[in-house]
Amino acid sequence: MMDKGLKFQTEFDYIIIGAGAAGCVLASEIIKDGRFSVCLIEGGRKDTSRWIHIPATMFKTLNTQDASRVISEPDASLDDRNFVVPQGTVLGGGSSINGMIYMRGQAKDYNDWEINHGCVGWSYKDVLPIFINQEKNTRLSKPFHGKDGPLRVSDPEYKHPINSAIIESALQAGLSSNEDFNGANQEGTGWYQVTAHKGKRYSAATSFLKPQLHSEQLTLLTNTKAHNILFSNYTATEVAISNQYGQKKLKAKREIILSAGSFQSPKLLMQSGIGPEENLLRAGIDVIHNSINVGANLQDHIGTPVTMNLREKIGLHDEDKGFKAIKNGLNYYAFKRGLLTSNILEAGACIDTNGKGRPDVQFNFAPFAAGPPGKPPLPTHAVQVSPMTMRPKSRSRLYLDTSNPNASLKFYANMLADPEDLDTLRRGIRLAREIFQQRPISDMVEDEIWPGNGVSSKVGSNTLDDRIREQARTIFHPAGTCRMGPQKNDVLDLDLRVNGVEGLRVVDCSIMPALVSGNTNAPTMMIAGKAAEKILGSH
């Protein structure tokens, strides 16, 4: 049931904080079981904006109340630039504002979780069935894909000719063709599959939560802020919330679950007294449990565009203005076809650039020119191939410096602190330039906008390193700040229960011990599906 103010029941079996990719899936699975009541709390509004549901207008959501921005302290590895990470603050979370690319990562990512990080039960063979069961794929099927799940996954219904040209040029540059980035082999170039179908985005809210909204067992509170978790004898029992109706405490009879993402989940833990003791005391917060790794281990995929001007006016510039906008709108609303059905980032590549046997760089192809980090696209007809680090070595950290729950986190970004990440981006830029030298895309472009015609990509180019630091940006995949593991100093155990207390779990991509090699939307939904199995299996 939707938003019943504060005159509703205040006691539930489970309270889930955060209705994003993880929270929507988890709430849905618990409600479908039929035994338990759930209160799902979302700080943002309902997903009613049309910009959310039209695939091509995803970038417009970043400038609305449906997206907030987390801003770092000056980052020395980026020449003291502030690093900005947008976050979904709307029903569906990141799955309502992201690029809809459906990518799970590599099998070795999950095997490494088990082998290198001690996360037994989280290997690829353990998580693959969950991916399959969640998926309703329009083209692919077993052994890697599903046909009967709630999440629509399909091939792009609109394919921009510029993206077609980049794929062909990538093949000419020696890349292999890949028709399934989530199959036996991730390496190669091709069209992504997307969480969209018949001109509509399929977010976690649309796919998983919406069918359960009629249930009397579900209470959904949007525009509601969770301030902190309250404990009784080291057991999480209540959540303090506020919204337009006032303040209230909600009681959990079984568990409280944080699904607020890699920034807000650790923040809620720290506000509630679980975190590095020294930091909490300095912020004036009573310590419930000294958990030194809360807020640590923050990882994100970092990207830098290689951008070329187009010889002719065939890019996306001005497609949202004048006659072009009218044509695109009519085509979409009348027939559900054309440019507005596109996720824009329709194609890409995953490449092994260091010769270690698995892709370490992902490329996104796009027929526009991204502006400087945090700025709008450049007003020109252009094309870009954007390399990103798939398994970054650099780590960042989150802290609190006040007990005020409305204050921002202290985000200490070190996004290119590890030299290996800079090396990876250099290799990616060299390969992107090589792709642009191949036909047919070479016939369509002229001067290089970024890094610039005069900037060498040879090893040892200080100018290129400077340009990377200027342009490096988030690919919107922060993870790892409440990592799971077998050790007592890990934030969570392998069932995602918070160490040191009872009745409290974290279920979102903050639990990742290491970031997966690809987009995080599908893995986050998988994590929620696996958590649901653990939670329901314990009763």
Peptide bond into 440 cis (omega under 30): yes
Catalytically annotated residues? 477
Q: Are 364 and 344 in contact (CB under 8 A)?
A: no
135, 151 contact by CB (below 8 A): yes
Residues in the chain: 539
Q: Is 245 exposed, middle or buried (0-12, 13-18, 19+ CB in 10 A)?
A: middle
Q: Please report, to the nearest 10 degrees, the dihedral formed by the alpha carbons of residues 67, 68, 73, 74 taken in order.
A: 40
Q: Please give the structure tokens belonging to residue 443.
A: 């016939």
* DSSP E strand stretches across 18-57: 38-41
CA pair distance 85, 100, nearest whole angstrom: 17
Cα atoms in the Cβ-side hemisphere of radius 13 Å centred on 383 = 31
Q: Looking at the DSSP assignment, which residues form a beta bridge with residue 298?
A: 396
Tell me if residue 354 falls in helix, strand or coil.
Answer: coil
Give which of 246, 219, 309, 293 is closest to 15, Cα–Cα.
219
Neighbouring CB atoms inside 10 A of 4's CB total 12
User: What CA–CA distance (Å, rounded) separates 46 from 2?
Assistant: 10
Q: Rounded to whole angstroms, how far apart are CA atoms 435 and 166?
A: 7
Residue 487 CB neighbour total at 10 angstroms: 10
DSSP letters of 306-317?
Answer: EEEEESSS-SST
How many other CB atoms are found less than 10 A from the CB of residue 254?
A: 16
The Cα–Cα gap between 15 and 487 comes to: 27
Judged on CB neighbours under 10 Å (0-12, 13-18, 19+), 125 is exposed
Which of 416, 344, 466, 300 minimizes the C-alpha distance to 61?
344
Where does 6-76 show beta strands of DSSP type E?
A: 11-17, 38-41, 67-71
